[in-house]
Amino acid sequence: MKANELRRMYVEFFEKRGHKEIGSASLFPENDPSVLFTTAGMHPLVPYLLGEKHPQGKRLVDVQKCVRTGDIDEVGDDTHLTFFEMLGNWSLGDYFKKESITMSYLFLTEYLNIPVERLAVTVFEGDSLVPRDTEAAEIWIKNGIKEEQIYFYGRDENWWGPAGKTGPCGPDTEIFYDMGKEKCGEDCGPACSCGKYVEIWNNVFMEYNKNEDGTYSELLQKNVDTGMGLERILTIFNGYNNVYGTELFQPIIENIESLTGIKYTEDNKKTFRIISDHMRAATFILGDPRGVTPSNSEQGYILRRLIRRTIRLVKKFGVDSNIICRIAEVIIENYGEIYSELVKNKDFVLQQLEKEYVLFSKTLDSGLKMAERYFSKLEEGNSLSGDLAFKLYDTFGFPIEFTVELASERKINVDMFAFEEKFREHQEKSRKGAAEKFKGGLADNSERTTKLHTATHLLNAALRKVLGDSVYQRGSNINSERLRFDFSFDRKLTKEELEKVQKIVNEAIEKGIDVVCTEQTLEEAKADGAIGVFESKYGEIVKVYTIRGYSKEICGGPHASNTAELKSFKILKEESSSSGVRRIKATIG
């Protein structure tokens, strides 16, 4: 089965069961400070999971592009990826566990013909606060899963949320495929990392609210949020033992073989896989409608890390020319029909990759000079300390393999034990940071952040009025203290321009204008002059928020009901975000 066939089969399966298809959202969550990237299909649906009405109804299905960086150092094995596509279906206060589990089981066993005996499922085992999820287990058994295929685990494995100290949360049930390997021991099960079991689908049941006193109460609106990795299920259906055997990666791998003159073998497969994965992720990040450029902070830093790691590995193959742009062209060609934004932004993608290649080549030269300086102070038989080896890696982006190779030429050792200790500390900090950034993705939807969200619409409108219609939103981030708004513009704003922008927003606030929400087709919204990143597919119903005389934007909400609720607006700072993108930080009264 081909990837596009699987995408359509999944969507049509749920459409036949009353779900409406929604388009893939941006890789950059709008107004969500809890994450750098869209890591799951739920992010664009946050307001609706919290009770707001979705224009498409209570049953939704989509194929969402995602980026996860918490396991970036695991990439190169059989299953971990940085960029991936998530097949998802949702119930917003409609069906619950019985229907969700039954549909998942039916799709896997009857539509994909996966043998029931190759499946294993995990269920929440319960604790002193929330009871064991016997309901989910019983539903699985009624569908055909045997008791010995059901595993009960605690909160670490089978509980979702809340995103903060309080809020919606609940148990989940995860579906695994048995790869046919022998168990690694008596306790081997889906939670084991030995590779026998691969997770393919996760059904989250948001049925509780965690209260401030630590107790749990049942939610009035119970939701179902599911996600299944396209690459993993495509791998399993086609009988491959790793995701890189699929059509999604084979053209990329073949292209790398052609460009380097090196064949993909067991010995070098990890290098090939990392290059393929990282270039695919970098291409999608750059090609996104809200795409960022490489930088030293947030999404731009992750993007830079992906590109530079790729360049290092290409150079490891002995290739000194820039081939990463040609790899990106193959990726754009492969995905262009499904994700048209890649074709639309192709020139930008290639331009940024070329700039980063030139810049990093110089950085790599600096690393070589620093390495030479360290080695010049050592004699034969001495060891380069783990601290210095890690500094070369972390500060100069100098791969440890290069350091070891250079040391070997001088008959100098490298304290790899100390280096690996430093590296593990670095990994742990990265993972903790990622975990802190992604605790589920439900952003703070307090009254104040809702008002700040409305303020971004007024700010966008004011910027376009002062600077021209070529200005458009490139991203936003809101917390309870301030808003941050990124927009396309190629120079620093003058003091006079900032004063005009602030004045326009405050005028709108003083007028006390109602914020009106209407539901229209995408075509109607465009015809009415609504602005926004038009990601949804033609003909879909979208929400349009209008502040008469100022702003008309396609947006998911939530918003204040009247501009007077904002009280006042003040710009705190204006600065560069990245090349061609400016950033404003502001607050309200």
Annotated binding site: 453, 457, 555, 559
Closest CA to 236 of 173, 180, 159: 180
Q: Is residue 308 within 8 Å of 397, Cβ to Cβ? A: yes
SS3 of residue 577 by DSSP: strand
Which residue do the tokens 């020139």 mark? 347
Q: How far apart are the first and last CA of the chain?
A: 56
What tokens were used for 578?
């990245």
What does the buried/exposed string (b/e) look like for 396-427 if buried means 16 or more CB atoms within 10 Å of the residue's CB? bbbbbebbbebbeeeebebbbebbeebbeeee
* Binding region for Zn(2+): 453, 457, 555, 559
What tokens were used for 26?
């941006």
Q: Distance (Å, rounded) from C-alpha 211 to C-alpha 213? A: 5
Q: Distance (Å, rounded) from C-alpha 174 to C-alpha 189? A: 12
Q: Distance (Å, rounded) from C-alpha 569 to C-alpha 566? A: 7
Strands 413-414 and 383-384: parallel
Integer CA distances (angstroms), 206 to 1, 101, 221, 224, in order: 33, 14, 9, 6
Q: Distance (Å, rounded) from C-alpha 454 to C-alpha 192? A: 46
> Burial level of 212, CB count in 10 A (0-12/13-18/19+)?
exposed
